[in-house]
C-alpha cells in the first residue's frame, strides 16, 4: 500500500487527549552558547509538546543537542548559554518569564530532572540523606524522622539494598549504577508533574533498569506525570514512549507515534540508528555504523544537516534546508519526501554488514588466568577503628581468557564486576587469589614492576568524566601514556598516531586541542577508549565502555574493537549490563552474583539456554523492540542483598522462584553442562 505524503508546516505542539492544553509546550526553541564567531547553536528551532501522563522520547547521537534542550527547559544552561528565541510553557505558564527565585520552586517540585552523569551531579561532600533531605524539605515540608523514613522508602523503591544504612553513605561509596539510582530517587522526592530524564538507565543493569522503568511507569500512571525521556536505547523507547522525536545537529528531523515509528522509520538517519543495533544474527559481521560524526554547531548550514553522511543525498540536499512532510501521520524533515524528489527514502543497503575476515586464532595458553580472586573490604567502627565486618565484593572468582577472545562479565550493579576488573589489573590489591598475564604473576609485584607490565594491559573505566584529567587537553591525555611507557618518542609520529586514534573512535583531529568538559558524555567515553588503545595493549578490561554511547557510535566502537581484535589478537574482558552487546561481541560469558561466578560458558549456549535462574532473570528483563509498551516480565524480584551480609546457602535463593531447603543452607558446587558450560545451581534449568 502506498504512503500518503504531504508537505506541512513545522509540527505544532498538540493538546492532550483529554482536550485540555498540554502540560509542556515548546515552540521554536533556539539556544546559543558563547559570543561572536565562536558562538555555538546546539538547539535550533525545536518544538514539541508533552501531555499529562505522556512520555515523549528524544533520540539522537551525542552532540545533537538533546541534553541542551533539557537544560534549556529547566533554565539550567551553562555559563554563556542563553535562549535567544522561542517559548517554553509549563502548565500554562511561560517559564522564560519566571524569576530565578520562582524557578527554584518549580525545579524539583513541579519540574524535575535526572541528569546523565550522577558522578558530577551528586555533591561529593554530602551524604545521600542530606541531599535527598534538601528536596524533601523544600518541596514537601518533610524534616527529621519523617524525612529520613521517606528517603529510605525512595532508595528502596529504586532498588538500593540496605537502604536505611546507606542513607549515611557518601556518593563515592556507591557504584556507578547505584549513584544513578540515587539521582532518580532525588528527582522523585518532590513528586514532580513533569520529569525530564536524561539517560536515566544508562548506568543500570537490566534487572534494575526493568525495576526503574516499572517504577517510572507506575508513578506516571498514578500521578499523571509527564515525561521527557532522553535515551539512546531503542528498547527503552519501545517500552516507555508514547511519541518519539529524532534529533540531529540541533534540529528535530522526525516525529511520530511510537508504533508507527518502530514499524517504519522514515528519515535516513532514523534508519541508520536501527541498523546499528547489535543482535545475535549479526555475529561475525560488521555493524552498519554511521560514518563520520555530528557536524559542529558553530557554523551556518545551507542544506540538509545530515547530507554529508546520508547515503541517499542528492544535489538539492546540499543546497536547500528541507521542510517538513507528513507521511501517514508521521512528520519528517527530508527532501526525499518532498514533491518532485527523485524517489522516496528506501532502506539503504547494509554495505557494512559483511563477514569480517579474521586471520587470528586463539592460542592454547590463556593470556589471562584468574584463580580464586578475592577482594574483601573491612568495615571499621569505633574510636579505635576496629574491624567489625567485611564486605565480600569479590569472593573466589576464577576465569581464563585467551588472546583474540572476548569474555563478557555480566551481572547487576553492585555484584562486584568492576571491583573484579580493577583487582585483575592490580588497581585494587586483592585480598587473596592469583592473577597471571602471559603466564607471569601480577599479584605481589612491586609498583615499579607493575608499571613495566602496564603496556600489556589497560582499562577503560565506567565514568569517563572522572577518569579524564580536567586540566589536560585531549591530545595531552592520549600522549601521556605513550610518553610514560616510551612509545612513539618522535613527537611528529606521536601526533599522527593521536590524530589516527581520534578518527578511529569517531572524533576529529581538531578535537585534541579541547578539554574534557567541552565534550558530551558519549564523546568523553570515546576519548577514554582512544587513551586505552594508545599504548597498543594486548588485554583491555572494558568497564561498561558503551554504556554512555548512542547506538550509532556504539556500532562504531564495537566495529573498531572487532577490527583491532582481528588484526592484533587483542583480548577483552568486557564488563557490561548490555546483553545485546554481549550476544554480538563476546565469545564467552560469565554471570556474576554477589561476588561469585554462578554461570559461565560459550555465549551461544548461555544466552540461548541459561541454566541458572539468575541468568534467565537477566535475559527476561531486557527490553525488546518487538514488545512496545509491554512491561518487562520475568525479571528477578526483590533487591540485590548486601555483600556485607550475603544470604546463607545459595546467595540467590531469596529471589529465586525454584529455591528449596538445600538452597537455603548449602552453596551449590559447579555442574558441568558440556562444551565448557558450567553452572552453580542445585536445580539447573
- pLDDT for residue 575: 93
345 close to 268: Cβ distance less than 8 angstroms: yes
- pLDDT for residue 83: 96
- pLDDT for residue 9: 58
* 3-class SS of residue 583: helix
- pLDDT for residue 6: 65
Cell of 93: 505558564
590 close to 424: Cβ distance less than 8 angstroms: no
> Which residue's entry shows cell 528449596?
660
Q: Round to whole Å and give the CA distance between 283 and 289.
A: 14
Q: Round to whole Å and give the CA distance between 105 and 570.
A: 53
* 3-class SS of residue 79: coil
> Which residue's entry shows cell 594508545?
534
Q: Round to whole Å and give the CA distance between 679 and 610.
A: 9
For a pLDDT cut of 70, what percent of the chain falls above it? 90
pLDDT higher than threshold 90 for residue 425: yes
What mean pLDDT comes out for the span 211-231?
Answer: 85
Q: Is 400 left (phi over 0), alpha (psi -120 to 50) or beta?
A: beta
pLDDT higher than threshold 60 for residue 14: no
Model confidence at 347, pLDDT cuts 50, 70, 90, reads very low
**Which tens digits make up the pLDDT trace of 657-680?**
889 999 999 999 999 998 899 999
Model confidence at 518, pLDDT cuts 50, 70, 90, reads confident
Model confidence at 203, pLDDT cuts 50, 70, 90, reads low
How many CB atoms are located within 10 Å of the residue 463 CB?
Answer: 22
Lowest mean pLDDT among 59-63, 312-316, 401-405: 59-63
Q: Round to whole Å and give the CA distance between 70 and 225.
A: 17
**Which tens digits make up the pLDDT trace of 154-164?**
998 887 888 99
> Alpha carbon of 75 to those of 95, 115, 357: distances in Å?
8, 14, 51
Nearest to 196 by CA among 183, 208, 207, 206: 183
How many CB atoms are located within 10 Å of the residue 339 CB?
Answer: 8
Residues belonging to the chain? 685
pLDDT higher than threshold 70 for residue 344: no
What mean pLDDT comes out for the span 120-125?
Answer: 89
Domains of the chain as residue ranges with CATH: 12-275 (3.40.50.300), 283-337 (no CATH), 362-456+571-622+634-685 (3.40.50.300)
- pLDDT for residue 306: 95
Q: What is the mean pLDDT of the chain?
A: 86
Q: Each residue of 300-316: b (16+ CB within 10 Å) or e?
A: eeebbbbbebbebbeeb
DSSP string, 234-272: HHHHHHH-SEEEEEETTEEEEEEEHHHHHH---SHHHHH
* 3-class SS of residue 394: strand
- Within 8 A by CB and 6+ apart from 396, the residues are 372, 373, 374, 433, 595, 596
Terminal alpha carbon distance of the chain: 46
* 3-class SS of residue 130: helix
* 3-class SS of residue 607: helix
pLDDT higher than threshold 90 for residue 324: yes
* 3-class SS of residue 384: coil
- Within 8 A by CB and 6+ apart from 638, the residues are 654, 655
Q: Round to whole Å and give the CA distance between 325 and 44.
A: 18
pLDDT higher than threshold 70 for residue 510: yes
95 close to 23: Cβ distance less than 8 angstroms: no
**What stretches of 320-359 adopt beta strand conformation (E)?**
324-327, 330-333
- Within 8 A by CB and 6+ apart from 510, the residues are none
**Which tens digits make up the pLDDT trace of 248-265?**
999 999 999 999 999 999
- pLDDT for residue 545: 81
pLDDT higher than threshold 90 for residue 629: no
112 close to 187: Cβ distance less than 8 angstroms: yes
- pLDDT for residue 635: 55
Higher pLDDT, 361 or 317: 317
Q: What share of the chain is helix, strand, coil (3-state, %, to 5)?
A: 35, 25, 40
Model confidence at 316, pLDDT cuts 50, 70, 90, reads very high
What mean pLDDT comes out for the span 630-657?
Answer: 77
Nearest to 252 by CA among 194, 311, 330: 330
pLDDT higher than threshold 70 for residue 132: yes
How many CB atoms are located within 10 Å of the residue 55 CB?
Answer: 24
Model confidence at 638, pLDDT cuts 50, 70, 90, reads low
Cell of 28: 521554536
Model confidence at 397, pLDDT cuts 50, 70, 90, reads very high
Q: Round to whole Å and give the CA distance between 425 and 543.
A: 12
35 close to 80: Cβ distance less than 8 angstroms: yes
Q: What is the DSSP letter of 97?
A: G
Amino acid at each position: 500500500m502506498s504512503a500518503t505524503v504531504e508537505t506541512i508546516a513545522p509540527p505544532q505542539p498538540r493538546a492532550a487527549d483529554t482536550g485540555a492544553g498540554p502540560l509542556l509546550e515548546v515552540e521554536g526553541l533556539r539556544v546559543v552558547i558563547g559570543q561572536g564567531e565562536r558562538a555555538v547553536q546546539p538547539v535550533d528551532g525545536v518544538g514539541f509538546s508533552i501531555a499529562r501522563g505522556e512520555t515523549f522520547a528524544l533520540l539522537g547521537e551525542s552532540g545533537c543537542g538533546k541534553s541542551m534542550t533539557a537544560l534549556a527547559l529547566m533554565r539550567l544552561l551553562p555559563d554563556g548559554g542563553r535562549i535567544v528565541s522561542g517559548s517554553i510553557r509549563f502548565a500554562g505558564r511561560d517559564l522564560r518569564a519566571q524569576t530565578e527565585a520562582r524557578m527554584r520552586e518549580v525545579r524539583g517540585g513541579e519540574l524535575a530532572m535526572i541528569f546523565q552523569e550522577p558522578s558530577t551531579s551528586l555533591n561529593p561532600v554530602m551524604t545521600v540523606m542530606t541531599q535527598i533531605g534538601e528536596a524533601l524539605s523544600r518541596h514537601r515540608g518533610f524534616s527529621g524522622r519523617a524525612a529520613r523514613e521517606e528517603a529510605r522508602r525512595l532508595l528502596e523503591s529504586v532498588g538500593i539494598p540496605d537502604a536505611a544504612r546507606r542513607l549515611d553513605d557518601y556518593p563515592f561509596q556507591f557504584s556507578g549504577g547505584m549513584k544513578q539510582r540515587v539521582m532518580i530517587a532525588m528527582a522523585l522526592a518532590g513528586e514532580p508533574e513533569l520529569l525530564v530524564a536524561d539517560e536515566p538507565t544508562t548506568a543500570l543493569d537490566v534487572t534494575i533498569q526493568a525495576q526503574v522503568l516499572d517504577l517510572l511507569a507506575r508513578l506516571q500512571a498514578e500521578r499523571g506525570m509527564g515525561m521527557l525521556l532522553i535515551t539512546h536505547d531503542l528498547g527503552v523507547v519501545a517500552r516507555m514512549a508514547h511519541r518519539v522525536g529524532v534529533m540531529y545537529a540541533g534540529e528535530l528531523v522526525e516525529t511520530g507515534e511510537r508504533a508507527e515509528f518502530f514499524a517504519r522509520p522514515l528519515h535516513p538517519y532514523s534508519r541508520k540508528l536501527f541498523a546499528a543495533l547489535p543482535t545475535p544474527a549479526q555475529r561475525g559481521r560488521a555493524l552498519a555504523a554511521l560514518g563520520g560524526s555530528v557536524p559542529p554547531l558553530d557554523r551556518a548550514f545551507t542544506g540538509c544537516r545530515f547530507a554529508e553522511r546520508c547515503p541517499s543525498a542528492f544535489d538539492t540536499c546540499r543546497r536547500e534546508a528541507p521542510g517538513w512532510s507528513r507521511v501517514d501521520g508521521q512528520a519528517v524533515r527530508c527532501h526525499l519526501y518532498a514533491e518532485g524528489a527523485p524517489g522516496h527514502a528506501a532502506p539503504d543497503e547494509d554495505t557494512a554488514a559483511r563477514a569480517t575476515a579474521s586471520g587470528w586464532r586463539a592460542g592454547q595458553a590463556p593470556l589471562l588466568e584468574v584463580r580464586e580472586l578475592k577482594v574483601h573490604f573491612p568495615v571499621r567502627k569505633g574510636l579505635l577503628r576496629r574491624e567489625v565486618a567485611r564486605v565480600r565484593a569479590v569472593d573466589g572468582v576464577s576465569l581464563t581468557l585467551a588472546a583474540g577472545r572476548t569474555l563478557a562479565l555480566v551481572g547487576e550493579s553492585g555484584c562486584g564486576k568492576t571491583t573484579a576488573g580493577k583487582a585483575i589489573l592490580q588497581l585494587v590489591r586483592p585480598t587473596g587469589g592469583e592473577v597471571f598475564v602471559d603466564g607471569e604473576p601480577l599479584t605481589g609485584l612491586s609498583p615499579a614492576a607493575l608499571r613495566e607490565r602496564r603496556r600489556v594491559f589497560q582499562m577503560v573505566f565506567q565514568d569517563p568524566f572522572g577518569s579524564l584529567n580536567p586540566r589536560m587537553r585531549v591530545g595531552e591525555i592520549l600522549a601521556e601514556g605513550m610518553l610514560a611507557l616510551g612509545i612513539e618518542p618522535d613527537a611528529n609520529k606521536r601526533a599522527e598516531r593521536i590524530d589516527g586514534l581520534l578518527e578511529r573512535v569517531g572524533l576529529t583531529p581538531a578535537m585534541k586541542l579541547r578539554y574534557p568538559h567541552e565534550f558530551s558524555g558519549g564523546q568523553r567515553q570515546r576519548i577514554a577508549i582512544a587513551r586505552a588503545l594508545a599504548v597498543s595493549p594486548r588485554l583491555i578490561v572494558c568497564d561498561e565502555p558503551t554504556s554512555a554511547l548512542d547506538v550509532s557510535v556504539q556500532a562504531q566502537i564495537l566495529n573498531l574493537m572487532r577490527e583491532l581484535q582481528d588484526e592484533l589478537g587483542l583480548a577483552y574482558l568486557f564488563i557490561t549490563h548490555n546483553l545485546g552487546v554481549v550476544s554480538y561481541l563476546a565469545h564467552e560469558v560469565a554471570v556474576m552474583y554477589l561476588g561469585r561466578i554462578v554461570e559461565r560458558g560459550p555465549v551461544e549456549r548461555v544466552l540461548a539456554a541459561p541454566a541458572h535462574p539468575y541468568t534467565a532473570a537477566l535475559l527476561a528483563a531486557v527490553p525488546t523492540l518487538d514488545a512496545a509498551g509491554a512491561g518487562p516480565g520475568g525479571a528477578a524480584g526483590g533487591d540485590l542483598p548486601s555483600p556485607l551480609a550475603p544470604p546463607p546457602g545459595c546467595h540467590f535463593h531469596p529471589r529465586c522462584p525454584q529455591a528449596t531447603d538445600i538452597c537455603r543452607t548449602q552453596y551449590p558446587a559447579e555442574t558441568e553442562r558440556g562444551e565448557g558450560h558450567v553452572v552453580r545451581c542445585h536445580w539447573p534449568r
